[in-house]
Amino acid sequence: MRLSLPFAASLLIGTSIFSACTKKNSSASKQMGAEITGTQQLTEAQLASARNNYVNYCGGCHGRELETFVNRKWQHGDSPEALFKGIKHGYPEQGMPAYATTFSDQEIQQLVGFIREGIVRQKGKPAQKQNAAVHQSEKVSFQLDTVITGLDVPWGMAFLPNGDMLVTERSGTLYRLTKDRQLQKVEGAPEVLAQGQGGLLDVELHPDFKKNNVVFLSYSAVKKEGGQTLSTTAIMRAKLDGNNLTDQNVIFEAQPYARTRHHYGSRMEFGRDGYLYFTMGDRGGTKVNPQNLSVHAGKTHRIKEDGSIPADNPFVNKEGAMASIYTFGNRNAQGMALNPSTGEMWLHEHGPKGGDEVNIVKKGANYGWADVTYGIDYNGSKISDLKQKAGVTDPIHFWVPSIAPSGMAFITSDKYKGWEGDLLVGSLSFKFLSRLEVDGNRIVREERLLKDIGRVRDVRQSPDGFVYIAVENPGVIYRLVPVQQ
């Protein structure tokens, strides 16, 4: 069920691999250091093996063409020794698993060489020009209109009634993108922990925004405790007054805080019942949270606009349970959308290595993580033998291998003839836009569009009917404009 993008760690590495070596192993360490300097050119066979290992084990989180490593701010250093250490021993609190039991030292050395050479190749590539091309889907021809460039990691979008757009940048900035495409900073956004997968995440308008100017922001909140930096998923309610947020109030703060820097979840959507639904990732590092009702992690939640709890939430009267929980057994959902035909809430969530899912949100339902999954762990180890289980709600669609889904939108617009009722989902891993044909509560087929466009982080349909996608590396927002052929 679920991906997590074990986050940016295979290369977020730091101190020398030799720092922990004993004097007894110093000569062996020196020899290994010479072997992993990256100066020796890989043979064709070694290159093919390293590429295969990278694609199968690393590409889902770091991009199959190593694109997420270009212009990276290296947290632990980018030397060959640092890369070797990070791949072998991992950084679990940052979502990076250890591959010591998966790869031999020689295979890790080859991976290091492949990665370093790949980064150089990526930096030397000319920028792709997407706009001029006419993209032909099975039913619609369209071009890409570049709305804005130069963003870092655009995470969420929300359209204002006057035609402007609010855009969150994961690094912590909230922007207003005006209808004449001027980017303006909005002051008053919450303090965030912009590390790993954390930062300023989704943005959602109140259903009565035209009357009250209320917006909601999800983000990774931070606090210091016992000499450690901890974080959690939080939601702020505020009023938008021009380019300022006022009357800020934190209406949700997940418990407990954790040392990890990934699996925050954080998509938000209002249901037809007037309540705010939002996702909370399992926070990584443990597979216990999603089945544990005494913690917020690994769940879908439902609250009132002021943060109070609806009386008919499924676990309100269950002793020890968090009252905001609406579903459990979720891993890390980064897409949520209201189905306009049925009024039901749909979400997709990341599986590990395989097993991303599309689920329909059902009151009190258990979606099984980590007792049930269509995937395996990132290092190839088994998580569960079960794909189905009594009491567990099955997904209506799943991906193997993982596409790393992010953002989703149902198409109600008549601008895209033949797409009406379809579901659009972004792919971080394979860098495409997925069009899923929907028949009632079933997904009957998939078409993959805009292959290699970049890591598609969010997908939205604007009030005037156009589809917008937010893409990472570099940060760009595109508008899909239908053309006549």
Tens of pLDDT, residues 381-395: 999 999 999 999 999
Give the integer Cα–Cα distance in Å for 197 and 58: 16
Rounded to two decimals, what is the model's pTM? 0.82
**pLDDT of res. 98:** 83
The model's pLDDT over 178-219, given as tens digits with 9 standing for 90+, comes to 999 999 999 999 999 999 999 999 999 999 999 999 999 999
Q: For the beta carbon of residue 397, count every other beta carbon within 10 angstroms.
A: 18
In a domain, 463, yes or no: yes
Residues 224, 268: one domain?
yes
Of 124, 156, 186, the residue at which a domain comes to its end is 124
pLDDT digit string (tens) for 7-57? 333 333 332 322 333 333 344 334 434 344 444 577 888 888 888 888 777
pLDDT at 121: 73
Q: Which residues contact 354 (CB under 8 A, 6 or more apart)?
A: 374, 375, 376, 399, 400, 401, 402
Are residues 194 and 93 located together in one domain of the fold?
Answer: no
In a domain, 424, yes or no: yes
Residues 289 and 342 in one domain: yes
Distance from C-alpha of 156 to C-alpha of 198, rounded to nearest angstrom: 13
Q: How far is CA 259 from the centre of its chain?
A: 19
Range of the domain at 107: 23-124
Q: What is the pLDDT of residue 71?
A: 61
114 with 192, same domain: the answer is no
Looking at the fold, whether 390 and 272 belong to one and the same domain comes out as yes
- Bridge partners (DSSP) of residue 472 are 455
Give residue 92's pLDDT: 72
The pLDDT of residue 41 = 73
Read off the pLDDT band of 306 (50, 70, 90).
very high
- 70 pLDDT more than 70: no
Residue 4, domain member (yes or no): no
Read off the pLDDT band of 317 (50, 70, 90): very high
Q: 345 and 246, same structural domain?
A: yes
Over the chain, what is the mean pLDDT?
88
CA dihedral 461, 165, 195, 370 (to 10 degrees): -20
Which pLDDT score is estimated for 368? Answer: 98
Q: Assess whether 81 and 159 both reside in one domain.
A: no
Three-state SS at 444: strand
| Residue at which a domain ends, from 74, 92, 124 | 124
The pLDDT value recorded for residue 77 is 76
Question: pLDDT (tens digit, 9 = 90+) per residue, 435-464?
Answer: 999 999 999 999 999 999 999 999 999 999
On the question of pLDDT at 161 being above 60, the answer is yes
pLDDT at 430 over 90: yes
Q: 53 and 201: one domain?
A: no
Give tens-digit pLDDT for 340-371: 999 999 999 999 999 999 999 999 999 999 99
Q: What is the pLDDT of residue 68?
A: 67
d(CA 194, CA 133) in angstroms, rounded, equals 35
Q: Which two tokens mark 431?
A: 């860098």
Q: What angle do CA 65, 401, 380 make, to 5 degrees?
A: 90
What strands lie across the sheet with 333-338, from one edge to the other? 333-338, 345-349, 356-360, 397-399
On whether both 465 and 399 belong to a single domain, the answer is yes
Instruction: Check if the beta carbon of residue 81 is closer than 8 Å to that of residue 87.
Output: no
Kindly state whether residues 423 and 470 are assigned to the same domain: yes
The counts of H helices and E strands in the chain are: 6, 25
- Catalytic residue selected from 206, 263, 296, 348: 263
* Percentage of the chain exceeding pLDDT 90: 71
The pLDDT value given to residue 417: 95
In a domain, 323, yes or no: yes
| Same domain? 55 vs 200 | no
At 302, the pLDDT band (50, 70, 90 cuts) reads very high
Two tokens, residue 30: 């020196």
Provide mean pLDDT across the span 467-484.
Answer: 95
Token pair for 458: 């969010």
Q: What is the CATH number of the domain that holds 193?
A: 2.120.10.30
**pLDDT of amino acid 55:** 76
Q: What is the mean pLDDT of residues 257-265?
A: 96
User: Is residue 56 a part of any domain in this protein?
Assistant: yes
Specify the DSSP class assigned to residue 222: E
Give yes or no: 263 in active site. yes
pLDDT of residue 405: 98
pLDDT of residue 203: 98
Q: How far apart are CA 292 and CA 288, in angstroms?
A: 6
CATH number for position 33: 1.10.760.10
In angstroms, rounded to a whole number, what is the distance separating the alpha carbons of residues 41 and 336? 46
Say if residue 408 is in the same domain as residue 435: yes
**Which residues have C-beta within 8 Å of that of residue 349, sequence separation ≥ 6?**
1, 2, 3, 279, 330, 331, 332, 333, 334, 335, 356, 357, 359, 367, 405
Amino acid sitting at position 316: V
What is the pLDDT confidence band of residue 131, given thresholds at 50, 70 and 90? low
Residue 230 placed within a domain: yes
In a domain, 129, yes or no: no
> In degrees rounded to 5, what are phi and psi of residue 105?
-60, -40
Domain final residue, candidates 92, 124, 156? 124
- Give the mean model confidence (pLDDT) for residues 119-137: 71
Residue 130 lies in a domain: no
- Three-state secondary-structure class, residue 164: coil
For the chain, what is the domain count? 2
